[in-house]
């Protein structure tokens, strides 16, 4: 079976915690030490308080679907259609959102507000965070 093709991110010291946290089953963000804001995408300066002191911290991996679309177009022959492209907001912080795929259910069963939890697929040295129904 052909492994489905996925574009992989370039790992840097600034984003590696996010893309490799899945090795431990953890979804890891930078968190501002001063105001406790989770910072995503990774940045050297906190967007909330402009603080420069931050640490890596795992979140629960639980959240909800903010919006989604079902792709029916076979853009790539190795990727089975249809599939769901979604924005998921993590429980830890309003606005802490990831663009991701919803897996583990039929695309037509995905709903806005649906509870989801993170799951990871490993590609090379990257763990891509996807989400599945949390029930
Ligand atoms: Zn801050």
Q: What average pLDDT values come out for the chain (135 residues) when binned by 10 residues?
A: 77 94 97 97 95 97 98 89 97 97 97 98 94 94
Taking the centre of ligand 1 as the mean of its atom positions, its distance from the CA of residue 39, in whole angstroms, is 8
Taking the centre of ligand 1 as the mean of its atom positions, its distance from the CA of residue 134, in whole angstroms, is 30
- Which tokens go with 28? 């890891």
**Helix, strand, coil percent values for the chain (each to nearest 5):** 10, 40, 50
Taking the centre of ligand 1 as the mean of its atom positions, its distance from the CA of residue 127, in whole angstroms, is 27
- Residue 15 near residue 56, CB atoms below 8 Å: no
Give per-residue pLDDT as tens, 10-33: 999 999 999 999 999 999 999 999
- In whole angstroms, give the CA distance from residue 110 to residue 113: 9
């Amino acid at each position: 079976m052909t492994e489905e093709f996925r574009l992989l991110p370039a790992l840097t010291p600034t984003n590696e915690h996010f893309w490799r946290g899945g090795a431990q089953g953890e979804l890891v963000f930078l968190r501002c030490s001063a105001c406790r804001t989770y910072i995503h995408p990774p940045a050297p300066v906190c967007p909330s308080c402009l603080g420069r002191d931050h640490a890596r911290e795992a979140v629960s991996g639980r959240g909800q679907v903010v919006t989604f679309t079902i792709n029916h177009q076979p853009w790539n022959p190795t990727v089975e259609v249809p599939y769901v492209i979604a924005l998921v907001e993590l429980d830890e912080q309003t606005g802490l959102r990831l663009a991701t795929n919803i897996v583990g259910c039929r695309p037509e069963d995905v709903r806005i507000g649906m509870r989801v939890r993170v799951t990871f697929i490993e590609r090379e040295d990257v763990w891509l965070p996807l989400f599945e129904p949390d029930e």
